[in-house]
Structure 1
Amino acid sequence: MKNKICFLAVFMMILSLFTGCGGSSSDSGGSSDGNDVAYYAYNSEPILNWDPSVEFSNGVIVLNNVYETLLRFNPTTKKYDYVLATSYKKSSDGLVWTFKLRKGVKFHDGNTMTADAVKYSIERTQKKEVGASYIWAPVKEIKAIDDYTVQFTLNYAAPLDMIASCPYAAFIISPKVKDKPDNWLEQGNEDGTGPYKLSSNKMGDEVVLSKFNDYWKGWNGKHFSKAVIKKTSETSSRRQMVEKGDADITNNLPAEDVKALKSSQNVKVDIEPSFTNLVAFFNTKKAPLDNEKVREALTYAFPYENAVKYAAGGLAKQSTGVIPVGMWGHGDSLTKYSLNLDKAKSLLKEAGINEGQLKLSLTYMSGDESEKKTAELYKSELSKIGVNLEVRAMPWESQWQQAKGTDIQSRQDILMMYWWPDISSPYSWAYNLFHSEKNPLYNLAYYSNSQYDQLVDDGYKMSSTNIEEAENKFIDAQKILLKDNPAVFIYDKEDAWITNSSLGGFKANSAYPLVVFFYDCYRK
């Protein structure tokens, strides 16, 4: 994502996160009836890029069923479960980590996973320098000691067990991929060790996965042989599908639907803690949003209380800064804006903007009723001070591409989106969303402040030795954001998972956001 060295911090203290349905090497074989197929009705595109070293968006829900990592975070024990690793140890100075690997693991191409495969996978991701590859910045060297021992030497102390369990960029890939064309993976191919293989892919619409017969855990017991992840934008459709049993699981339903479904005998509703928050980015490179007073005015014109109460249906808390509640680095004492239209109108006047002069555009992800309602509430309040806000629903990929376009004037004025962590550290928010970058990926406010950057980088590095001082750095960085107002920090949400009563085995965990681990699920 960035070509600079990032300081990956040690923050073992707060991995209080909360995911899901936590033969031959070529086919799943046989046929599946409806009871053998899991169906996930998802509200957006299931995956944007099939390259596991690159994908840094919705594809987390697919790739975590096709590929595996060395470790996986366990929300119950707050420790790491062994996946492709069977043990690990670190040196007393925290600079050398040695992992023992599981024997008998096969890739989907039939080849055996070894230390060389781990070395290849991580080095490949490092070299890509895109997506979440920055998580491996602490790694100086990787050695395959023998077939089932791999050693990492770090530039500085960092929590490599946490890194090795990340939901992005930590996947182990078959070295046979290097014999394929450079864009083979991106074209919709895969070669992992996970329980499921890609069966079919309708890009942007539907992914069908079939069981990998040679999966190292085996297929004894109850497991789904196939899984379908289908883009289903309409919330009413997702609700009806789960109620009728046409889908097994969904999320991101409107709060009124969640409330109504709690009394249904056909479904189960689980409300889970989340590190996901809703942010509205201002295009700080485009007039008049390049004016701090205008951004401050628009921040005061936001209906925070109603967004939480009506748009989120109470399944959220107003954000205080960009770091969500529950994550270290969150600051309850930070400035908390509230709706003040008189203040907003006064600031616009100071900026030389008269009532009726300002017209802005806002995009949000189609299929998300909470975002839609939030945008409409904002539009209503802005109209009271003479600001015309055009709100437009777009597929996520479309609005993201518009925001990353090279023509500043063609980018939307305001982009609303959710952020969830790639790593369970405040750095995930502070770095990805607002750290200076030449080519925007998720800094969709195009914000740049050297003092802010320094605080964030220092905070991340200090986290390995002084967590309290690191937290102060992140809080000070947020103070700058709340002064410059490159975005509106709307709310920190809770996740509402809706499952059909016939589905068993599903457990939500925000360490792997929105992921359903289908292997762990079964039909009751």
Structure 2
Amino acid sequence: MKVGNLALVAALAGPLLLAGPLAAETVRWARSADALTLDPHANNDSPTRNLLQHIYDTLALRGNDGKLEPRLATEWRVLPDDPTVWEFKLRQGVTFQEGQPLTADDVVFSLNRIRNEHSALKGLHKNVVEVVAVDDYTVQVKMDGPQPLYVQNLTNTFIMDHEWSEEHDVLEPQNYEAGESNYAVRHANGTGTYKLVERVPDVKTVLTYNPEFWGEKPAVDEVVFTPIKDNATRIAALLSGEVDVVQDVPVQDISRLENSPGFQVSVGPENRSIFFSYDLASDELETSDVKGKNPFKEPKVREAMSLAVDRDTIQRVVMRGNSDPAGMPLAPFANGWTEALNAYPAPDIAQAKELLAEGGYPDGFSVALHCPNDRYVNDEAICQAVVGMLAQIGIKINLIAQPRAQHFALIENWTTDFYLLGWGVPTFDSQYLFDFLVHTRDGSYGSYNGSRYSNPELDAKIEALATEADLEKRDAMIAEIWQFVQDERIFLTVHNQVLAYAMRDGLNLAIHPENQPNMATITLD
């Protein structure tokens, strides 16, 4: 397929939120983790984005079916006479929660702000050269070359009010990694369905319906969000009536809740893979008993580890059937996934031991494994299972499980030898994963490349994806990159995550493929 005078135009859309019977309704929502900040451009953490999408809005959004929907932009296209320019037509009559009208100036400001060095989402906009307001409701984005899929990068780009940001001195994003703060960390002014009423981090956030919202009024007027880290406590809160919706249902509780009168459970696949990765660059591992060498640099060691991990047993025992074992860190939702690339080996302990010996470690070695204990479904239990499996081939693991804020900092700061990570692909395209996890870290690319992997030749191929307008050729390039990534065993993939939401009877909330459910989409029986 050739993309020449490409015109991707979303039909002019009316209100998109299909609500149930209109009635004053408060929904008390709990999940395992709180947002890390309310600054819309400071952090790329999924729970953070999930809370923010209730307050802020984007130019386009992924629906529950995975398709792009128009939001603040009603239509978009690549200019027929210049394939390097995207044009967006904005929805008219939209106002921010404090009353200011949305104009092209706010979109230009937001797209420039998110490209700031302190933004965790700048990688999505690294090919932007200039953003221009053509008129009050038209924005043009000049790219450094043809970018046929750029609109897919906008589903997590929240639009801020320029005037409000200037008034409160938040023209630049919070430097979250440095521990800095600003007014936007605890205050918000968006165009979303709800406005912020109360915010006590890690305790409670209260949102109420925004009467200035441009779309249809939802069935839920008030949202009370409570992060509850402990699984048992979270489910007990649902069963006792303290909360109405639980987003992170432990796999061991799904069946019980399905059979409990007064409750229902939604189950479905997530666009997220769970995998391990390791320091592939250091000459010596900080936490290993091997000195002067790095066992992870040896391909046979990585192959041995993959053969030692029994993915099917993890699915059956640890996940109680609620996972999709996988061999590549990409869910079937995303462009680039194939059955062949996703194939994984049957466990073979004898062969794994042979490979470990051939790689120079007949007696194995020790190393620390860092694992979050509050981010993914059964994350610590997955790590515990893999510790036991690797012990069978002589790799002795010191498991360090801790909250996600500390865990992710280790990956970003290159202070972990071996770690668990989960990765979603909001663009539904492999380039997102390559840009963040495979490309050499250089300030624009590789921000979550905790493995330190670096290959200039592969970097060039990844960068070329962004400007390749022939989509068939581009897909072939993606397949070539994936084959290289898999052959190098940069990742030790375990499975794709399966989600479960539980709720009291009378509420209906569908599984969102990116685990980004919006309480405004709840319908009432």
> What is the TM-score with the length of structure 1 in the denominator?
0.83
Residue 374 of structure 1 and its aligned partner are, at CA, apart by: 1.7
Distance across 1 between alignment mates of 2:152 and 2:158? 7
* Residues 361 and 413, structure 1, Cα contact 8 Å, conserved in 2: yes
* 2:471 corresponds to which of 466, 470, 484: 466
Q: Which amino acid aligns with 2:269?
A: P
Query: Counterpart of 1:7?
Result: none
**Which structure 2 residues correspond to residues 54-73 of structure 1 after superposition, within 5 A?**
54-57=42-45, 58-73=47-62
Q: Which amino acid aligns with 2:220?
A: H
Query: Counterpart of 1:223?
Result: 220
Query: Counterpart of 2:352?
Result: 344
**Which structure 2 residues correspond to residues 211-360 of structure 1 after superposition, within 5 A?**
211-217=209-215, 219=217, 222-225=219-222, 227-284=223-280, 285=282, 286=285, 287-334=294-341, 336-355=344-363, 357-360=365-368
* Residues 194 and 215, structure 1, Cα contact 8 Å, conserved in 2: yes
* 2:378 corresponds to which of 358, 370, 379: 370
* Residues 272 and 496, structure 2, Cα contact 8 Å, conserved in 1: yes
* Residues 308 and 392, structure 2, Cα contact 8 Å, conserved in 1: no
CA RMSD of aligned residues (A): 3.0
Distance across 1 between alignment mates of 2:437 and 2:7? 20
Query: Counterpart of 2:391?
Result: 383
1:116 aligns with 2:116: no
SS at match of 1:358: strand
Residue 100 of structure 1 and its aligned partner are, at CA, apart by: 2.9
Query: Counterpart of 1:429?
Result: 433
Distance across 1 between alignment mates of 2:126 and 2:324? 33
Residue 91 of structure 1 and its aligned partner are, at CA, apart by: 2.7
Contiguous gaps of at least 5 residues in structure 2:
1-5, 9-15, 175-181, 286-293
* Residues 301 and 382, structure 1, Cα contact 8 Å, conserved in 2: yes
Cα deviations by residue, 1:200-221 (Å, 9 ceiling, x for unpaired): 33334443223333333374x6
Query: Counterpart of 2:80?
Result: 92
Cα deviations by residue, 1:261-287 (Å, 9 ceiling, x for unpaired): 222332222222321110111122333
Cα deviations by residue, 1:349-395 (Å, 9 ceiling, x for unpaired): 23332436434333233365522222122111222223221223211
Cα deviations by residue, 1:397-447 (Å, 9 ceiling, x for unpaired): 111112333xx5xx3332112111231211122221221104663112222
* 1:507 corresponds to which of 505, 510, 514: 510
Q: Which amino acid aligns with 1:320?
A: G
Query: Counterpart of 1:487?
Result: 491
Distance across 1 between alignment mates of 2:149 and 2:92? 21
Q: Which amino acid aligns with 2:163?
A: P
Q: Which amino acid aligns with 1:217?
A: G
> What is the TM-score with the length of structure 2 in the denominator?
0.83
Cα deviations by residue, 1:26-69 (Å, 9 ceiling, x for unpaired): xxxxxxxx97432221112x212322122201311111111111
Residue 307 of structure 1 and its aligned partner are, at CA, apart by: 1.6
* 1:402 corresponds to which of 410, 419, 444: 410
Contiguous gaps of at least 5 residues in structure 1:
1-9, 13-19, 23-33
Select the structure with the greater relative contact order (CA < 8 A; seq sep ≥ 6).
1
Q: Which amino acid aligns with 1:145?
A: V
SS at match of 1:309: helix
Query: Counterpart of 2:290?
Result: none
Residue 185 of structure 1 and its aligned partner are, at CA, apart by: 4.3
Count of matched residue pairs:
483
Distance across 1 between alignment mates of 2:216 and 2:114? 29
* Residues 54 and 169, structure 1, Cα contact 8 Å, conserved in 2: no
Cα deviations by residue, 1:450-482 (Å, 9 ceiling, x for unpaired): 2332332334433x3133x32232222222222
Distance across 1 between alignment mates of 2:128 and 2:377? 42
Query: Counterpart of 1:441?
Result: 447
Query: Counterpart of 2:163?
Result: 175
Distance across 2 between alignment mates of 1:520 and 1:127? 32
